[in-house]
């Protein structure tokens, strides 16, 4: 027994010398990289700028996104991820390679082990593409985990709470709902309604009501400054924000003022859709799980959980305690970080090979309990 323990300890230490363990959260909007013992070493928008003629990579991450809508004529800015999965394999691979280089991963002659998250309802094809992308950037081994589970670990709620807890990860493309306990996932579902849909709703209301065209980043800024999940009953005056755009139909450039109440109204639909998906998840639970959720409540993660008042809205609608994770944008990659530090936890929570073969239809039946 003692000999066995000693051997496995030596094995682990040797492995540490020759293997570099890295966690990647390849999100629709943001990509984060975590390195064992260093923490989060990269946090950049999932964007890449390419020269149209030569195919050369001009920029990745923030500098690439800043070019969006003002690209030089020979340059195109792409976002290779859509709804949490790879939409353009070649570009995703190029972007990941550039991010790894930026983060200084793979410089030393070590074998690379990548742990990465995937949305709960990703198809077997999408999961295979993710694994292949990780292999193409030099990973010798790739482990996949469900993002919702990683978010729950990162937010520190499984392993702490007894019984079941729920995490709602509101990202850019999808909102992922996961009910999990220390033993694993009890329920998971995903809807294509999250931060990007909220920004789209802002663009639409500005076009419809103000007859103005603005850029995506400007709409994002309006959403962040004025957006909320609820009207604040204490606020007497409607807050206004100056924005520059192009008037329709004459396309003259001018400054105009957007009101918070218009933005909050525009966000009602996407926010309610997410609330309803969570309501459905709660309704489908067994009485035991429902009782656990009543005690443990819901934790919100992902950038969308930074929308003002979203915790209060969920609480009012669902009558369950709601908290926002301490580092909502990093929750998934921090959870992956915990898995990197514990081979036992990784073994328990990683998606096993046979489940990678599941197709979407089977996976959705898995989401009903
Ligand atoms: P993903 O994991 O899909 O890449 P993230 O969890 O990084 O997504 O969240 C990105 C989304 O969060 C974007 O749609 C962004 O607009 C939104 N977001 C970030 N900060 C805020 C904020 N303060 N208020 C509302 N939405 C926000
Ligand atoms: Mg995410």
148 alpha carbon – ligand 2 mean position (Å): 9
Give residue 356's pLDDT.
Answer: 42
Q: Which of 25, 26, 29, 68 to mutate to test the pocket of ligand 1 (most atoms within 8 A of CB)?
A: 29
Is residue 329 within 6 Å of ligand 1 at its C-beta? yes
300 alpha carbon – ligand 1 mean position (Å): 12
Rounded average pLDDT over 191-216: 97
| Cα distance between residue 145 and residue 354, in whole Å | 13
Does 2-46+89-150+330-366 match 155-193+267-328 in CATH topology? Answer: yes
Q: Which atom of ligand 1 is nearest to the CA of 46?
A: 4
DSSP string for residues in 93-157: HHHHHHHHHHTTTT-SS-EEEEEEEE-TT--HHHHHHHHHHHHHTTEEEEEEEEHHHHHHHHTT-
Minimum CA distance residue for ligand 1 atom 12: 303
**Tokens read off for 86:** 């790879």
Label residue 110 by pLDDT band (50, 70, 90): confident
| Contact by Cβ (8 Å): 292, 165 | yes
Q: Which of 203, 303, 327 to mutate to test the pocket of ligand 1 (most atoms within 8 A of CB)?
A: 303
Among 66-80, 111-125, 149-163, 227-241, the range with the most confident prediction by mean pLDDT is 66-80
70 alpha carbon – ligand 2 mean position (Å): 27
- Over residues 311-362, the pLDDT tens digits come to 999 999 999 999 999 999 999 999 999 999 998 999 999 998 654 444 444 3
Give residue 31's pLDDT.
Answer: 98
| Contact by Cβ (8 Å): 27, 12 | no
Minimum CA distance residue for ligand 1 atom 26: 304
Give residue 367's pLDDT.
Answer: 37
Is residue 45 within 6 Å of ligand 1 at its C-beta? no
Is residue 224 within 6 Å of ligand 1 at its C-beta? yes
| Cα distance between residue 315 and residue 261, in whole Å | 21
Does residue 233 surpass a pLDDT of 80? no
Question: Which residue, among 45, 44, 42, 130, has the nearest Cα to 85 in the 3D structure?
Answer: 130
30 alpha carbon – ligand 1 mean position (Å): 8
Does residue 285 surpass a pLDDT of 70? yes
- Over residues 236-281, the pLDDT tens digits come to 778 999 999 999 888 899 999 999 999 999 999 999 999 999 999 9
Q: pTM (2 decimals)?
A: 0.91
Q: Which superfamily is assigned to 195-263 in CATH?
A: ATPase, substrate binding domain, subdomain 4 (3.90.640.10)
Is residue 195 within 6 Å of ligand 1 at its C-beta? yes
DSSP code, position 303: G
- Return the domain boundaries, the chain: 2-46+89-150+330-366, 155-193+267-328, 195-263
| Cα distance between residue 198 and residue 200, in whole Å | 5
| CATH T-level fold of 2-46+89-150+330-366 | Nucleotidyltransferase; domain 5 (3.30.420)
DSSP code, position 169: E
Minimum CA distance residue for ligand 1 atom 25: 307
Domain 155-193+267-328 has CATH 1.25.40.10: no
Quote the mean pLDDT of the chain. Answer: 90
38 alpha carbon – ligand 2 mean position (Å): 20
Of 27-31, 113-117, 179-183, 306-310, least confident by mean pLDDT is 179-183
Torsion angles phi and psi, residue 78, rounded to 5: -120, 155
| Cα distance between residue 272 and residue 55, in whole Å | 42
28 alpha carbon – ligand 1 mean position (Å): 10
32 alpha carbon – ligand 2 mean position (Å): 9
């Amino acid at each position: 027994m003692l000999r066995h323990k000693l051997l496995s300890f030596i094995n682990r230490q040797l492995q540490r010398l020759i293997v570099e363990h890295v966690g990647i959260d390849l999100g629709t909007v943001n990509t984060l990289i975590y390195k064992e013992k260093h923490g989060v070493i990269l946090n950049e928008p999932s964007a890449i700028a390419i020269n149209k003629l030569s195919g050369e990579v001009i920029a990745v991450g923030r500098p690439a996104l800043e070019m969006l809508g003002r690209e030089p004529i020979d340059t195109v800015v792409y976002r290779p991820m859509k709804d949490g999965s790879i939409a353009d394999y070649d570009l995703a691979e190029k972007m990941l390679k550039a991010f790894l280089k930026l983060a200084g991963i793979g410089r030393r002659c070590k074998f690379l082990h990548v742990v990465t998250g995937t949305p709960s309802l990703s198809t077997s094809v999408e999961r295979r593409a993710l694994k292949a992308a990780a292999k193409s950037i030099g990973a010798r081994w790739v482990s996949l985990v469900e993002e919702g589970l990683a978010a729950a670990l990162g937010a520190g709620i499984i392993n702490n709470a007894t019984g079941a807890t729920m995490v709602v990860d509101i990202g850019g493309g999808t909102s992922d709902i996961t009910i999990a306990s220390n033993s694993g996932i009890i329920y998971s579902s995903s809807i294509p309604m999250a931060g990007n849909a909220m920004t789209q709703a802002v663009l639409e209301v500005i076009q419809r009501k103000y007859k103005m065209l603005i850029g995506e980043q400007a709409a994002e800024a309006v959403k962040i400054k004025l957006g909320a999940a609820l009207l604040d009953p204490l606020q007497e005056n409607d807050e206004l924000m100056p924005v520059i755009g192009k008037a329709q139909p004459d396309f003259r450039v001018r400054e105009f003022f957007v009101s918070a109440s218009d933005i909050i109204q525009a966000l009602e639909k996407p926010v309610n859709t997410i609330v309803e998906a969570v309501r459905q998840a709660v309704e489908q639970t067994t009485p035991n799980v429902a009782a656990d959720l009543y005690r443990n409540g819901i934790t919100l993660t992902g950038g969308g959980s930074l929308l003002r008042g979203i915790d209060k809205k969920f609480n009012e609608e669902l009558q369950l305690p709601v908290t926002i994770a301490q580092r909502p944008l990093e929750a998934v990659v921090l959870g992956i970080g915990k898995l990197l530090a514990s081979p036992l936890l990784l073994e328990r929570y990683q998606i096993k090979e046979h489940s990678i073969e599941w197709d979407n239809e089977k996976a959705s039946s898995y989401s009903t309990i």
